[in-house]
């Protein structure tokens, strides 16, 4: 049985659950597992060194699932920007019809390339004003990230309970709620707030198919909603990560007057973060974590997780809430 919303119709999936694009996590096995379970899996383009490797990963995912899956493209300032045109070509040539984007206003050039190829675009935003701008440019859906989210929550600090309905009130395109969602209660709440589905990142990290070390998965289980840190606030580039010795040291170094990013660059490098995910040495770098880790108590398969979420959300909607009205 499906749970039908505008998101399921747009993406051609059974359930309105999307796996967020996650650097060094969004590989074919995880994406295929999410898609086979009825959601939309996501490969992360910038995880791969070149477009040839990305094309191979898309082909590998195609071999693992007959269901739709997407690719994430993030656009952030860098000394050596990727060739986004070739990335879009690899995506289109691989038959992928959905792309999740994130990043700076330069992402608009990527949108133009994607839209010209007939690819549906979901853009991640942390504010209603940016979501409205994205809608005007022609994106097909918006994933709205509340302050609880892992990664970059923006600088407005608006939590999902306010941000989701605020976005739903003003947007015409479908809205995916993101940040702090980990179970069927979060899905039901997002739908009640006006969203058409949910995007989850941290929760999918704590699944059997996630290509990260068991120690990292267990950290999501062991830690609670208080165990995250917001880094880079002095630089107005806030990033929510799992609390560990490195995040604590980053906060210490950046709390002093006139701190600059170079003071912590070696601690937060992407290479260190990637190595942490592979080695399981939790205090060797930083890793992304949302407040949703306070709701993570096991490490199921993606199929078990999504089945449980759908069953719980249906029970909340059809039994608990309807029962309150009838009562």
Q: Does residue 310 share a domain with residue 276?
A: no
Please report the pLDDT score of residue 325 as a whole number: 80
Is 1 a member of any domain?
no
For the chain, residues with pLDDT lower than 50 are none
Q: Does residue 151 share a domain with residue 16?
A: yes
Please report the pLDDT score of residue 258 as a whole number: 94
Q: Does residue 103 share a domain with residue 85?
A: yes
Q: Is residue 13 a contact partner of residue 38, using CB atoms and an 8 Å limit?
A: yes
Q: Does residue 279 share a domain with residue 135?
A: no
What number of other Cβ atoms are within 10 A of residue 104's Cβ? 10
Q: Does residue 147 share a domain with residue 239?
A: no
Is 101 a member of any domain?
yes
Q: Which residue range forms the structural domain that includes residue 17?
A: 6-212+298-326
Q: Does residue 143 share a domain with residue 281?
A: no
* pLDDT per residue as tens digits for the range 199-246: 999 999 999 999 999 999 999 999 999 999 999 999 999 999 999 999
Is 305 a member of any domain?
yes
Q: Does residue 275 share a domain with residue 199?
A: no
Bridge partner residues of 288 (DSSP): 241
Burial 73-85, CB ≥16 within 10 A → b, else e: bbbeeeeeebebe
* pLDDT per residue as tens digits for the range 108-150: 999 999 999 999 999 999 999 999 999 999 999 999 999 999 9
Q: Does residue 186 share a domain with residue 135?
A: yes
In 76-194, beta strands by DSSP E = 98-103, 120-125, 141-145, 175-178
Q: Does residue 139 share a domain with residue 240?
A: no
Domain of residue 167, CATH code? 3.20.20.70
Please report the pLDDT score of residue 228 as a whole number: 98
Q: Does residue 243 share a domain with residue 190?
A: no
Q: Does residue 276 share a domain with residue 309?
A: no
Name the domain count of the chain.
Answer: 2
- Which residues, in sequence order, are CB contacts of 121 under 8 Å at separation 6+? 98, 99, 100, 101, 111, 114, 115, 138, 139, 140, 141
- Give the sheet arrangement for strand 41-44, strand by strand: 17-19, 197-200, 175-178, 141-145, 120-125, 98-103, 69-75, 41-44
Q: Does residue 261 share a domain with residue 161?
A: no
Is 304 a member of any domain?
yes
């Amino acid at each position: 049985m499906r749970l039908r919303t505008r998101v399921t119709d747009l993406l051609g999936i059974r359930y309105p659950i999307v796996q967020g694009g996650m650097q060094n996590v969004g590989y074919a096995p995880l994406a295929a597992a999410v898609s086979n379970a009825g959601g939309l899996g996501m490969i992360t383009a910038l995880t791969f060194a070149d477009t040839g490797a990305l094309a191979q990963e898309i082909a590998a995912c195609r071999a693992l699932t007959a269901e739709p899956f997407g690719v994430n493209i993030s656009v952030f300032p860098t000394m050596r920007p990727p060739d986004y045109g070739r990335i879009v070509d690899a995506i289109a040539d691989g038959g992928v019809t959905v792309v999740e984007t994130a990043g700076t206003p330069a992402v608009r050039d990527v949108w133009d390339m994607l839209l010209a190829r007939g690819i549906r675009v979901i853009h991640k935003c942390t504010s209603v004003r940016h979501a409205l701008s994205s809608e005007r440019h022609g994106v097909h859906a918006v994933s709205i990230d509340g302050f609880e989210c892992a990664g970059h929550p923006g600088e407005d600090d608006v939590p999902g309970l306010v941000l989701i309905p605020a976005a739903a009130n003003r947007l015409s395109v479908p809205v995916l709620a993101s940040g702090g969602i980990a179970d069927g209660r979060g899905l039901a709440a997002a739908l009640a707030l006006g969203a058409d589905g949910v995007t989850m990142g941290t929760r999918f990290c704590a699944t059997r198919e996630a290509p990260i070390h068991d120690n990292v998965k267990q950290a999501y289980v062991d830690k609670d909603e208080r165990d995250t840190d917001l880094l880079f606030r002095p630089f107005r580039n806030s990033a929510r990560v799992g609390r560990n010795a490195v995040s604590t040291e980053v906060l210490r170094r950046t709390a002093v007057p006139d701190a600059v990013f170079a003071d912590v660059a070696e601690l937060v490098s992407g290479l260190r973060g990637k190595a942490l995910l592979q080695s399981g040495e939790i205090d060797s770098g930083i890793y992304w974590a949302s407040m949703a880790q306070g709701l993570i108590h096991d490490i199921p398969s993606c199929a078990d997780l999504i089945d449980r979420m759908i069953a719980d959300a249906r029970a909340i909607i059809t039994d608990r809430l309807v029962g309150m009205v009838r009562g």
